[in-house]
Each structure stands twice: as structure tokens, then as C-alpha cells.
Amino acid sequence: MLHDRVLVQLTPEEGERRSSGGIVIPATAQVARRLAWGDVHGVGTNARTVKVGDRVLFNPDDQLEVEVQGRTYLVMRERDVHAVASERIEHGTGLYL
């Protein structure tokens, strides 16, 4: 990867979801403009806050797709990443943005 580019593979969808009221939302239901989680598989030399192995939140509609060895990845600029998830092991309470 060059400059501030990030190579991300989409995290597979979990399928059915539940609303806060307990209503089951099927996997086929379309939701307007939804952000997605993905795993970083490559970063350019000028990327400052993202590293390989991070889990990032981004808009998949605005990114470029590329296929490498039969797997589909998205290529984006680091500035297109909305959040980076990290685990705080010292407190043991889970995932943080």
C-alpha cells in the first residue's frame, strides 16, 4: 500500500439482528446508508493511526473494491475511516471506540 491508503476486508454480516425492542430484523432487510466494520490487512507508509490487525468503522459505499488471490478487499484513504476499535485489556471491560 502507498501513502495513506488502507486495505480493509469486510467483516461478514451476522445475519438476523434485533432492535432494542426485541423485534427481529431479517438479514435481507435494507437499511439506508449503514456504516460497516472491517479488518485492516494492509496500510501505507504514511498511515498514522491505523495499523494491520485493527478493526475499523467506515462507509463501504464510497470505497474501491479490489480482488487479491480470490478475496475481495476495499481500498480507502485513512481519513475515510470513522473509528478504530480497540480492546482495553487493563480494565477488562471489552471493546472501545
- pLDDT tens sequence across 52-67: 989 999 988 878 888 8
Confidence of residue 23 (pLDDT cuts 50, 70, 90): confident
Domain range annotation of the chain: 5-96
- Amino acid 89: pLDDT: 59
3-state secondary structure of 10: strand
**Would the pLDDT of 90 be above 70?**
no
| In contact, 8 and 41? CB cutoff 8 Å | yes
The CATH number of 5-96 is which of 3.40.50, 2.20.25, 2.30.33, 2.60.40? 2.30.33
The better pLDDT of the pair 3, 1 is held by 3
Backbone angles phi, psi at 78, to 5 degrees: -60, -35
